[in-house]
Amino acid sequence: MILRHILSSCPPVSIFNSKLLAFLFLFTMPAVVPILPPSVLPDYRHYTPEYNLDDLVRDIKAYLGTSGGISSADVDNEYLISLAQKYISDPNDWAQYFYNDTSKNYTRNAIENINQKANILLLVWNPGKGSPVHDHANAHCIMKILAGTLQETVYRIPDQASERAPLEIKSDTRHTMNDVAYISDDIGLHRVYNPSSDQVAVSLHLYTPPNAADYGYNVYNEATGKACFVPQAKSVPQKE
């Protein structure tokens, strides 16, 4: 009876009083958090990724499902670039696609083939190695740096009818992690290489439409401007 009286005389909310909780939080948390060893603190980066690689691939597929891909003209490359910019590189997302053939300059790993619309690849670049000067088979190419550094030299497309001459450089840009670059044949040709002497670089590439894989593309001789057709760009298929 006495106990019931005591209990009933205590407001049930008293120990959960919000002011008390605020007080406890404000005056005890700052004292507790700094003494936790760093190894005990969770790595929040991987707990709530805002926009992961699956989200990016989903959004690219959703967009290309309703718009274009068959013709590169009806694709809004700015929208696709903005999606690539939104994604922040996280190796936990792309490690599953990572394969590096050290005998090659770079390895093209398939992430997703969207039939007749696009392909999405993970490229792994060996230190000091790069691609030859090439075109993009009348497609949009969006390249996002996921790790390391890539140097991109853009060249003016030569007029094949004119006399042979060295390719003219339009720009030379160093891209670092999370940068997004864009090229199409309207802009020019390019070559990309990894300037590091000891670190691999990794990049995500979106090609729409997937003309280089479906038909082929051209590589160019930098000194003469001469083009050479390469049928069907190959990639390492996804692991089962």
Ligand X SMILES: N[C@@H](CS(=O)O)C(=O)O
How many beta carbons lie within 10 A of that of residue 75, not counting itself? Answer: 22
Q: How far is the CB of 61 from ligand X (least distance, A)?
A: 19
Closest to 188 in 3D by CA, of 171, 173, 204, 203: 171
Q: How far is the CB of 157 from ligand X (least distance, A)?
A: 15
Interaction of residue 143 with ligand X, rule CB under 6 A: yes
Those residues whose C-beta lies under 8 Å from the C-beta of residue 9, and which sit 6 or more positions away, are none
Nearest residue to ligand X, using CB? 131
Interaction of residue 133 with ligand X, rule CB under 6 A: no
Q: How far is the CB of 143 from ligand X (least distance, A)?
A: 6
Residue 134 assigned ligand-binding role: yes
Q: Which CB sits closer to ligand X, 63 or 136?
A: 136
Instruction: Please tell me the distance from the alpha carbon of residue 146 to that of residue 111, in angstroms, as a whole number.
Output: 14
220 by DSSP, 3-state: which? strand
Query: Which one-letter amino acid corresponds to residue 111?
Result: I
Instruction: Please tell me the distance from the alpha carbon of residue 137 to that of residue 234, in angstroms, as a whole number.
Output: 14
Closest to 111 in 3D by CA, of 126, 100, 96, 129: 96
Q: Which CB sits closer to ligand X, 52 or 131?
A: 131
Residue 175 assigned ligand-binding role: no
Instruction: Please tell me the distance from the alpha carbon of residue 154 to that of residue 157, in angstroms, as a whole number.
Output: 9
Taking residues 169 to 208 in sequence order and writing x for each that binds ligand X by CB under 6 A, - otherwise, the string is -----------------------x------------x---
Q: How far is the CB of 59 from ligand X (least distance, A)?
A: 21
| Contact residues for ligand X, defined by CB under 6 A | 108, 123, 131, 141, 143, 192, 205, 233
Residue ranges for the known binding site for Fe cation are 134, 136, 190
Residue ranges for the known binding site are 134, 136, 190
